[in-house]
Amino acid sequence: MANDLPYSVQEFMNSEKEMSKLTQMASKKYRMPLNAVFTKLSDATRAIASGTVNWGRRNSLWPMQFGLSCCAIEFMDFGASRIDSDRRGFLMFRGTPRQCDVMIVAGWVTKSMVPRVKRLYEQMAKPSYVVSFGECATSGGPWWESYNIIKGIDQVLPVDVYVAGCPPRPENLFNALMMLQQKIGGEAVRSSERSVSEDLHKPEIEGLRLP
Amino acid sequence: MAVMRINIGPVHPSTHGVLRLVVDVDGDMIKRVEPHIGFLHRGVEKLMETRMYMQSPSYLEKLDYISPLSWDELYVASVEKALGAEVKQDAQVARVVMLEFQRIANHLLWLGTFCNDMGNLFTIFMWAFRERSKVLKFLEETTGGRMFYVNIRVGGLNRPLPANFADEAHGLCDYLEEKIAGYGDLIEKSSIFMERTKGVGRLSKADAVAYGAAGPVLRASGIEEDARKSKPYYIYDKIDFIVPTGYRGDTYDRYKVRYIEMQQSIKIIRQALGMLKGNDVVGAPIRLIGPQAKPDTVLLSRELPKGEGIVYMVPDKQRPYRISLRSPAFINLSLLPKLAEGSKFADLFPIFGSLDIVLGEVDR
C-alpha cells in the first residue's frame, strides 16, 4: 500500500521532524538567516514534491503523434475508440515534440530518417522516454538484410521499453506504457536502466550522412 | 508579394507518414509544391530477389500496410501465373470476400483520417475505427493475423475457412451497411466538409489520363476504369456491381467514389458468399520448388483499394530473377503538385488526403 502514496513514509516523517524543529527554533527566538529558513523549508517540501512530481509524471504521459510505418496504424488504433488510451492517463497525442514526453518509435528507421528522429528526441521536454514499438524499431525486423535500415532504434536513442510483435497489438502498447509508468514511479526492478547501444556516442553511424 | 518557402514534414501529423513537402506560397496561394520521398525506402524489390517465392508475401504486405492482403494476393497470383497453377473454386470465392473486406477496411481508415484532416469530424474517425476493428476481427478469425495475414498460398489459402465463415460475413455486411449509411448523413450535412471539398483540387479527365492516375482518383475524374471490370479475374465477371465515377474530379468526388465503393463491396461480398460451395480452399504446401513451366516474364495487374497495381516479374527456378512493382500510390502522389498549384494553402491537406497514399508503398 505504501507504493500508492506519492511519497515514502520515511521521507514524510523526516520532513515532519524538520518542520517541528524549525518551529521550535522560531519559538526560542533563535536568530536564523532568512536564506537558511528557505533552504530548510525546501528540504522539507522536497520529499513530498519529488513524490508528487513522479506521481504526476507517470499519470500524465503525453505521447508524440509520430508514426513511421505499419506500426503507426496500430498506434492510431490505440488512440481510437476500441482501446481508448485516455483511460490510464496516456493523454492526447500531440503533433509537436515540445509538448510531449514519450516518443513511441513505431516503424523501421531508415538512414535518412535517423538525424530527424534524433532531433525530435532532443526537442522533447525532459525527462523524455522512448518506447520501441515493433520489431523493426527494436532490431530491424524483416529488414535486417536491407542496406538502408538501422538495426534497432537503440543505436541512436536510449530505450525504456521494448514492445515485441510485427506489428504488436494495441493492447500490447497499452501494457508497455503501463510498464513505463511503473518505471517512472520506481516500482519496476532496475527501473533506472535504459538500454543504450555502444554506438550511441559515435558521431555518425557508418554510411550515414546528414543531408 | 515575395514568395515564401514553407517546409512541411517529414514528421507531420497531416502527411500520413513520413513525407516532406516544400511549398512555395505567395500570400495564401500555393505557387509550387515539391514532394520529397524516400524516407521509408528499404529496397523491397532487391530483398525479394534473395528470397524463395513463398517467403516474399510478408514483404509485400508491408508495402501497403492499410490493405496488406491485396498486395499479398497480387504477388501470389503472379507466382501462380508463372507456375500455371489453377486456383480452387472455393478459394477464389474466399479470396474475393476477403479482398473486398480489405477494401472496406482501407476505405474506412482513409475516411477517418480524411475527415480528421477536415477539422471538425473527429467523430467519423472514431466511428470508422470502430467499424474497421470489426472487419479486422473477422479477418483475424479467418486468417490468424490481426494486421498482416500472409494467408494466400499458391492454389488457394493457407488455412481452411472457419465453420461460421458465411454467417459471420453476412452479419458483418449487415452491420457495415447500416453504419456506413449513417456516415453519409453526418458528413454531407456538415457545411465545413462540403465547403472544404467541393470544387477543391479539380483534376480534369485529360490530366488524369496524362498523369496516369489510378483507382478512385482516376474514376472521380469521370473515367470508368476498374481492373475488376475491364480485366475480370476470379469470379468478378459473374458478379453484378457498378463502378462509381464522378464528373467534377474534385476532392468531394474522390470522397464520394470511395464511399460508394464501400457499398458496392458489400454487394459483391453478398453475391460471392452465395457462390461458396464448400470448404476446399487450402492450397499447395509451402515448400515450393519453383516454376516448372517457366515463362519469360509475368505481368499481372489487380484492382487494389488504391488503384491498379502491377507486378512485373522475371521468374527463375527458386526465386524471382527480377521483380518490379507498379504502385498506384506513387503515381497518385505525383499528381499533388499539379492539383495543389493555385489553390489556397489551407486546401493543401484536403487535396493531399483525398489522394489516399501510403508512404510505405511510395518508397518501397
pLDDT at position B339 over 60: yes
- Summarize the confidence of residues B326-330 as an average pLDDT: 89
Q: For B170-182, what is each residue's pLDDT tens digit?
A: 999 999 999 999 8
pLDDT at position B138 over 70: yes
Look-up of cell digits 533563535: A30
Q: For A151-184, what is each residue's pLDDT tens digit?
A: 888 888 888 888 888 888 888 888 888 888 888 7
- Angstrom distance (rounded) from CA B354 to CA B110: 8
Of A141, A87, A79, A80, nearest in space to A104 by CA: A79
pLDDT at position A47 over 80: no
CA count, 13 A, side-chain hemisphere, A80: 24
**Which residues make Cβ contacts (< 8 Å) with residue B214, sequence separation at least 6?**
B306, B307, B308, B328, B331, B332
- Angstrom distance (rounded) from CA B11 to CA A60: 23
Q: Measured between beta carbons, which residues in chain A are less than 8 angstroms from residue B110?
A: none
Q: How far is B9 from chain A (nearest CA, A)?
A: 10
Q: B20 — contact with chain A (CB < 8 Å)?
A: no
Q: Is the dihedral of CA A84, A89, A90, A93 positive or negative?
A: positive
pLDDT at position B302 over 70: yes
pLDDT at position A113 over 60: yes
Q: A20 — contact with chain B (CB < 8 Å)?
A: no
**Cα A121 to Cα A84, A103, A194, B223, B361, distances in angstroms:** 25, 7, 15, 46, 26
pLDDT at position A115 over 80: yes
Please give the helix or strand (H or E) that residue A55 lies within, else none: helix A34-59
Measured between CA atoms, the residue of chain A closest to residue B127 is A81
Percent share of chain A, pLDDT over 90:
0
Report the mean per-residue pLDDT for chain B: 87
B5 within a domain of the structure (yes/no): no
The 3-state DSSP class for residue B266 equals helix
**Cα B212 to Cα B226, B332, B333, B362, distances in angstroms:** 13, 8, 11, 15
Q: How far is B53 from chain A (nearest CA, A)?
A: 16
pLDDT at position A82 over 70: yes
Q: Which amino acid is at A23?
A: T
* 0.90 surpassed by complex ipTM: no
Provide the pLDDT for residue A210: 45
- Angstrom distance (rounded) from CA A142 to CA B336: 31
Q: How far is A196 from chain B (nearest CA, A)?
A: 24
Q: For B243-269, what is each residue's pLDDT tens digit?
A: 999 888 889 999 999 999 999 999 999
DSSP state of B326: E
Q: A66 — contact with chain B (CB < 8 Å)?
A: yes
Q: A169 — contact with chain B (CB < 8 Å)?
A: yes
- Angstrom distance (rounded) from CA B181 to CA B266: 12
Q: Which residues form the domain of B135?
A: 40-363
CA count, 13 A, side-chain hemisphere, B323: 31
Of B10, B12, B126, the CB nearest to A80: B126
- Gyration radius of chain A over CA positions: 22
Of A65, A95, A113, the CB nearest to B18: A113
Beta strands in A39-157 (DSSP E): 102-106, 129-133
C-alpha grid cell for residue A89?
492517463
Q: A195 — contact with chain B (CB < 8 Å)?
A: no
B187 within a domain of the structure (yes/no): yes
Of A80, A82, A143, the CB nearest to B42: A143
pLDDT at position A1 over 70: no
Please give the helix or strand (H or E) that residue A178 lies within, else none: helix A170-185
pLDDT at position B340 over 70: yes
Q: How far is B40 from chain A (nearest CA, A)?
A: 6
pTM of the model: 0.83
Q: A167 — contact with chain B (CB < 8 Å)?
A: yes
Please give the helix or strand (H or E) that residue B182 lies within, else none: helix B165-188
**Which residues make Cβ contacts (< 8 Å) with residue B55, sequence separation at least 6?**
none
C-alpha grid cell for residue B195?
465547403
Q: Where are the domains of chain A?
A: 2-59, 70-200
The 3-state DSSP class for residue A143 equals helix
Query: Would you call B50 exposed, middle or buried from its count of C-beta atoms within 10 A (0-12, 13-18, 19+)?
Result: exposed
Q: B66 — contact with chain A (CB < 8 Å)?
A: yes
- Angstrom distance (rounded) from CA B257 to CA B235: 23
The answer to whether B364 and B63 have CB atoms below 8 angstroms apart is yes
Strand partners for B7? B22
Report the mean per-residue pLDDT for chain A: 76
- Summarize the confidence of residues A74-88 as an average pLDDT: 79
Q: Band of the pLDDT at A140, cuts 50, 70, 90?
A: confident
B288 within a domain of the structure (yes/no): yes
Give the range among A122-126, A205-209, B180-184, B285-289 with minimum mean pLDDT. Answer: A205-209
Look-up of cell digits 538500454: A195
Q: For B110-125, what is each residue's pLDDT tens digit?
A: 998 888 888 777 788 8
Beta-carbon count within 10 A of B287 CB: 7
B1 within a domain of the structure (yes/no): no
Task: Test A113 with B148 for CB contact under 8 angstroms.
Answer: no
Return the axis-axis angle of helices A170-185 and A70-79, rounded to nearest 10°: 70
CA angle B127, B133, B138 (to 5 degrees): 135
Q: How far is A70 from chain B (nearest CA, A)?
A: 5
Measured between CA atoms, the residue of chain B closest to residue A81 is B126
- Summarize the confidence of residues B162-168 as an average pLDDT: 89
Of A154, A173, A174, nearest in space to A164 by CA: A173
The answer to whether A6 and A52 have CB atoms below 8 angstroms apart is yes
Q: How far is B242 from chain A (nearest CA, A)?
A: 30
Q: Band of the pLDDT at B104, cuts 50, 70, 90?
A: very high
Q: A205 — contact with chain B (CB < 8 Å)?
A: no
Provide the pLDDT for residue B265: 92
B121 within a domain of the structure (yes/no): yes
Look-up of cell digits 522536497: A46
Task: Test A143 with B127 for CB contact under 8 angstroms.
Answer: no
Residue B337, Ramachandran bin (φ over 0: left; ψ between -120 and 50: alpha; else beta) = alpha
Query: Would you call B340 exposed, middle or buried from its count of C-beta atoms within 10 A (0-12, 13-18, 19+)?
Result: buried
The answer to whether B226 and B153 have CB atoms below 8 angstroms apart is no
Provide the pLDDT for residue A211: 42
C-alpha grid cell for residue B241?
456491381
Provide the pLDDT for residue B52: 83
Architecture in CATH for domain A70-200: 3-Layer(aba) Sandwich (3.40)
Site from A71, A73, A92, A166 to mutate, B interface, most B CB atoms within 10 angstroms: A73
**Which residues make Cβ contacts (< 8 Å) with residue A30, sequence separation at least 6?**
none
The residue that leads in pLDDT, A191 or A109, is: A109
Task: Test B47 with A110 for CB contact under 8 angstroms.
Answer: no
CATH code for the domain in which residue B296 is found: 1.10.645.10
Q: A13 — contact with chain B (CB < 8 Å)?
A: no
Provide the pLDDT for residue B175: 92
- How many domains are contained in chain B? 1
Q: Band of the pLDDT at B55, cuts 50, 70, 90?
A: confident
- Gyration radius of chain B over CA positions: 21
B242 within a domain of the structure (yes/no): yes
Measured between CA atoms, the residue of chain B closest to residue A108 is B40
B12 within a domain of the structure (yes/no): no
Q: For A9-18, what is each residue's pLDDT tens digit?
A: 787 788 778 8
- Angstrom distance (rounded) from CA A201 to CA A186: 27
Q: B59 — contact with chain A (CB < 8 Å)?
A: yes
- Angstrom distance (rounded) from CA B213 to CA B257: 14
pLDDT at position B19 over 60: yes
**Which residues make Cβ contacts (< 8 Å) with residue B174, sequence separation at least 6?**
none
- Summarize the confidence of residues B319-333 as an average pLDDT: 88
